[in-house]
C-alpha cells in the first residue's frame, strides 16, 4: 500500500488495512457496549502501552459514542524490547495510578502473541480485587500461543508472523503506520 510515506520501502505486504481496522474497532465497541449496558459506575479501560496506544484512542472514542462511560488508565509493560521475539520477562515500566478494587476492568491490548504478557498482567490485576477483569485484544496469533489466556473480545486472528503498524513496533519504529503489515526481510538484517 504505497502512499508516499517513509515506510513504504520497508513494508513487504499489508495484512490488515486501515479501513478494516477502523470497522473492526467499531464492532468491538458495539459488543462491549452491549455487554456493559448495566455498569453504573463506568468501565475502567486499562491500556497496555505502548503497543495499544492507537487502539485505545480509537476504541475509547467508539465506545464513548454508544456505551457506558469509561475512565482511561495506562500501564506500560514490555517484554519484546528491540527484538522480534518475546524475552519471556514482562517488565512494568509504568504502573496503574489508582485503585481498581470494586471496578469492572477492561484491559485494552493490541496483540496476544505468545500470551505471556497478558497472562502475567491478568494475574497482576486480579490480585488487585477488581469485580471483573476482561480483555479486548485487536489482534491475536492463535498459532503462537504458549500460555492460554481468556480473551473475551478479539478483533482479528493473524498468521504467525511478526507484524508492525497501528501501534505495533519493531525496535520502537513503525508504530505510526496506519495499517498492519509485514516488514521486508532486509529490514531485520540492517541491525
Ligand X SMILES: O=P(O)(O)OC[C@H]1O[C@H](OP(=O)(O)OP(=O)(O)O)[C@H](O)[C@@H]1O
Footprint of ligand HPA on 51-90 (CB under 6 A): 80
**Does residue number 32 form part of the binding site for ligand HPA (CB under 6 A)?**
no
- Sheet with 91-94, edge to edge strand ranges: 91-94, 70-78, 43-49, 104-112, 132-140, 153-157
Crossing angle of helices 53-66 and 18-35, rounded to 10°: 50
Judge contact between 151 and 117, C-beta under 8 A. no
**Does residue number 166 form part of the binding site for Mg ion (CB under 5 A)?**
no
* CB nearer ligand HPA, residue 20 or residue 169: 169
Q: Is 35 an active-site residue?
A: no
Residue in 25, 32, 63, 111 binding ligand X, rule: CB under 6 A = 111
Q: Which stretch binds ligand X (CB under 6 A): 18-26, 32-40, 46-54, 176-184?
A: 46-54
CA 41 to chain CA mean position, Å:
24
Binding marks (x or -) toward ligand X, 141..180, rule CB under 6 A?
A: ----------------------------x-----------
Nearest alpha carbon to residue 121 among 76, 60, 166, 66:
76
Q: Hey, what's the cell of 90?
A: 514482562
Q: Hey, what's the cell of 10?
A: 520497508
**Does residue number 156 form part of the binding site for ligand HPA (CB under 6 A)?**
no
Residue in 168, 177, 183, 187 binding ligand HPA, rule: CB under 6 A = 168
**Does residue number 20 form part of the binding site for Mg ion (CB under 5 A)?**
no
Binding marks (x or -) toward Mg ion, 69..98, rule CB under 5 A?
A: -----------x------------------
Residue in 21, 43, 114, 125 binding ligand X, rule: CB under 6 A = 114
Cα angle, residue 25 at apex, residues 164 and 158 outer, rounded to 5°:
40
Q: Hey, what's the cell of 114?
A: 505468545
**Does residue number 124 form part of the binding site for ligand X (CB under 6 A)?**
no
Judged by the rule CB under 6 A, the positions of this chain that interact with ligand HPA are: 80, 111, 113, 162-164, 168-169
Residues catalogued as catalytic: 113
Judged by the rule CB under 5 A, the positions of this chain that interact with Mg ion are: 80, 169
Amino acid at each position: 500500500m504505497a502512499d508516499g510515506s517513509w515506510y513504504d520501502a520497508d513494508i513487504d505486504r499489508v495484512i490488515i488495512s486501515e479501513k478494516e481496522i477502523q470497522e473492526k474497532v467499531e464492532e468491538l465497541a458495539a459488543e462491549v457496549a452491549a455487554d456493559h449496558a448495566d455498569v453504573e459506575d463506568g468501565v475502567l479501560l486499562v491500556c497496555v502501552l505502548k503497543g495499544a496506544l492507537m487502539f485505545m484512542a480509537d476504541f475509547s472514542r467508539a465506545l464513548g459514542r454508544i456505551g457506558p462511560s469509561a475512565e482511561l488508565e495506562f500501564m506500560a509493560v514490555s517484554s519484546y524490547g528491540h527484538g522480534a521475539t518475546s524475552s519471556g520477562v514482562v517488565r512494568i515500566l509504568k504502573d496503574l495510578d489508582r485503585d481498581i478494587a470494586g471496578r469492572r476492568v477492561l484491559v485494552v491490548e493490541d496483540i496476544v502473541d505468545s500470551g505471556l504478557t497478558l497472562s502475567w498482567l491478568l494475574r497482576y490485576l486480579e490480585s488487585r480485587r477488581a469485580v471483573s477483569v476482561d480483555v479486548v485484544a485487536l489482534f491475536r496469533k492463535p498459532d503462537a500461543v504458549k500460555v492460554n489466556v481468556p480473551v473475551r473480545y478479539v478483533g482479528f486472528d493473524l498468521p504467525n508472523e511478526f507484524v508492525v503498524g497501528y501501534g505495533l513496533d519493531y525496535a520502537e519504529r513503525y508504530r505510526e503506520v496506519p495499517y498492519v503489515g509485514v516488514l521486508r526481510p532486509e529490514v531485520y538484517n540492517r541491525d
